[in-house]
Amino acid sequence: MAAWLAMLLAQATTLPTPGVSVPAVPATAETAPVASADDAADDPAIWRDPRAPERSLIVATDKQAGIHVYDLTGRRVSYTPAPRLNNVDLRTVGGRVIVAASDRADPAQAHVALFQLDTEAGRLVPLGRLHVGAGEAYGMCLWTRAKDGALFGFVVLKDGRIDQIAIDTSGPAPVVRTVRSMKLGTQSEGCVADDRTGLLYVAEEDVGLWRFDADPAGPVTGTSVVAVDGRRLVADAEGLALAPKGRKGGYLVVSSQGDNAYALYRLPNMAYAGRFRIDGGAIDGTSETDGIDLMLGDFGRDYPQGLLVAQDGDNAPDTQNFKYVGWAAIRRALKLP
């Protein structure tokens, strides 16, 4: 408790002054609304085409009905019906783009749905729905181990348990195997793993951010790195995304859902780097954002430095959708180097 209090006091010296405006960054594009009403759109994952960046694709879930693939204009390219998919992530393994989503169809038994992204046709090819363990699958992120290219997933259960699974897609049918479990105290969801550093970040919604060793041989206890303080990070802390720079630098971006903003923390020391909202311009802004994804690099004319995709919890009068924002615009708004 003393260490936790010391961290809060240290953070308080750099908290923004109440009433100071948060920079607004306009969305450049938005996806077609999902078909389901109410709370439906949830989490995106970005695939960047290295040969033709303008042909890059966004995979995103409708947690009431299925999973969509969109292009960079926001046009829906394909749709795959699937029960209760929540969070989604993807990695390229052996030349194949593997997509994994947490499956909540059975709230008592967690599953992971695996797909291969057909990048030419822009559609998902189902590979299987695999049982992980007891509990409701909520969050989901992937990690590729640098030393051998092994693929792992982290399934965040709604009660705060985190099951790490090894994913083998080399055979005729994929195989998943639970290799360890970690535990946070309360409801958790968002997670992201850094392939460079082998670190996993998880959002405990009303508490803050935790960091774990991503390797299955690492300790099962995490380190608290950012507290929900009601000013820089407002509960619920939801989606997480990385903006990597160099061997271990860059930023961790967090959806501060409670005040419709996004907070940035510098890697590796997790120093606060600023916050922004998605608003202004011809496209409506975002609110109550669940999932986010961010990828740096050239995505063509509209996104020359990188792309952030954020779920919009209130896209009235239409159903929910996802907004696209250029990383260059975020950097300008926050005066990032």
pLDDT of residue 272: 97
pLDDT more than 70, % of the chain? 94
pLDDT of residue 20: 53
Q: Which residues of the chain have pLDDT under 70?
A: 1-21
Tell me the C-alpha to C-alpha distance, in Å, between residue 66 and each of 35, 63, 101, 104, 257: 10, 6, 10, 12, 23
pLDDT of residue 323: 98
> Model's pTM, two decimal places?
0.94
Domains of the chain: 36-272 (2.120.10.30)
